[in-house]
Amino acid sequence: MNENNRPVLAVVGATGAVGTVMRDVLSTREDVWGEIRLVASARSAGRRLTVRGEEIEVRELSPEVFDGVDIAMFDVPDEVSAEWAPVAVERGAVVVDNSGAYRMDPDVPLVVPEVNARAVRQRPKGVIANANCTTLSMIVALGALHAEYGLTALRASSYQAASGAGQEGVDTLHDQLNKVAGNRELGTHPGDIRRVVGAELGPFPAPLALNVVPWAGSLKDDGWSSEELKIRNEARKILELPDLRVSATCVRVPVVTTHSVAMHVTFEREVNAVRASEILRDAPGVVLYDDPARGEFPTPADVVGTDPTWVGRVRRDLDDPRALELFVCGDNLRKGAALNTAQIAELVAAELSA
């Protein structure tokens, strides 16, 4: 705590794509923080970055940087979190981690405040995990529907943005767009896009401009991608439904930021599209935008930069009265990363200040 009894926050990984959005989030939400420390690798230490209108020098990650810190947010690779989160905890901080290192650890809660805020208090390791961006793009809407109808199965197909692969993903997409723009013959013959884009695929396994790529993450058993299994495992943990039937296909699309998901969701009870829409409209953190007659449905271009989960195309399955179809969009850097991390940190801050 600082002299005004306000908690001290460390932001570890302050200079990446998510760190940049985090500084924006911290500068625009209600300010509960005493000191804010920005922390990064040695390469970025010494840079001066603005948060809450104030320039702060970025400090190098070290054990001492956590002295006096109440809450440390980590947005760094899994292996950096695995090494440094225990150091921060040892120095007295509660860690909110946005990597995959702790999400499935049974001693670490996986928290989405609109869905399972109370889980934040059960943290025997001093660590709280933030969910994957794709999970976060849909889970608030799912949680609201689950509370009413009881979720039994989720079939999800994603339309994931380049920034889910970090700043390198964004830069790669823009570089490729520059190469393909103006060539009106492209996209007609096999291989022509690969020829123009060349070998610079960045973090993607195929060209992303004028293409869609059915792959995100690493290869796991039986042909599943890590991203697809994260949706399954994280949805089960957050919703406390260990047997929830979940299958997903994750696809990268040439969008800069904001993940979309087409969902087929099955419930214990019969659903009604009108009532389901009311539930979504009234749910905290959800915007219902669903009037196709007026051209109203969420798209990434309209959702990017906003906080809520946007939901549209709500339809009851024509054959199954217990199933809904819907299409959701959520900013993968905001609710999908920085915002949810900040919301968790604020829950802990309120607890520490109480």
Residue 15 marked ligand-binding:
yes
Residue 349 is a binding residue for its own copies (CB under 8 A): no
> According to CB under 8 A, which one of 178, 268, 282, 350 is a site residue for its own copies?
178
For its own copies, which is the closer residue by CB, 2 or 178? 178
CB of 301 vs its own copies, minimal distance in Å:
4
259 is annotated as an active-site residue: yes
Residue 266 marked ligand-binding:
no
Tokens 């380049």: give the residue: 162
By C-alpha distance, which of 22, 102, 86, 103 is closest to 56?
22
133 is annotated as an active-site residue: yes
For its own copies, the binding residues in 182-241 under the rule CB under 8 A are: 182, 184, 186-194, 205-207, 210-215, 219, 222-225, 232
Residue 332 marked ligand-binding:
yes
For its own copies, the binding residues in 246-275 under the rule CB under 8 A are: 246-247, 249, 251, 253-257, 260, 262, 264, 273
Residue 178 marked ligand-binding:
no
Burial class (CB in 10 A: 0-12, 13-18, 19+), 87: middle
For its own copies, which is the closer residue by CB, 42 or 318? 318
For residues 252 and 206, what is the distance between their CA atoms, to the nearest angstrom? 10
How many binding residues for its own copies (CB under 8 A)?
78
Nearby residues of 147 by Cβ (< 8 Å), 6 or more positions away = none
Which residue among the candidates 146, 250, 259, 329 is catalytic per the annotation?
Answer: 259
For its own copies, the binding residues in 105-164 under the rule CB under 8 A are: 153, 155, 157, 159, 161
Which region, judged by CB under 8 A, interacts with its own copies, from 53-61, 110-118, 136-144, 290-298?
A: 290-298
Residue 48 marked ligand-binding:
no
Sign of CA dihedral 39, 78, 230, 200: positive
For residues 352 and 350, what is the distance between their CA atoms, to the nearest angstrom? 6
Pair 34, 15: CB distance under 8 Å: no
By C-alpha distance, which of 134, 125, 162, 178 is closest to 255?
162
**Residue 281 CA: distances (Å) to CA of 152, 273, 287, 308:** 22, 12, 6, 11
For residues 184 and 144, what is the distance between their CA atoms, to the nearest angstrom? 45
Question: Residue ranges for the binding site?
Answer: 15-18, 43-44, 103, 160, 163-164, 252, 332
Residues catalogued as catalytic: 133, 259
Residues that constitute the known binding site for phosphate: 103
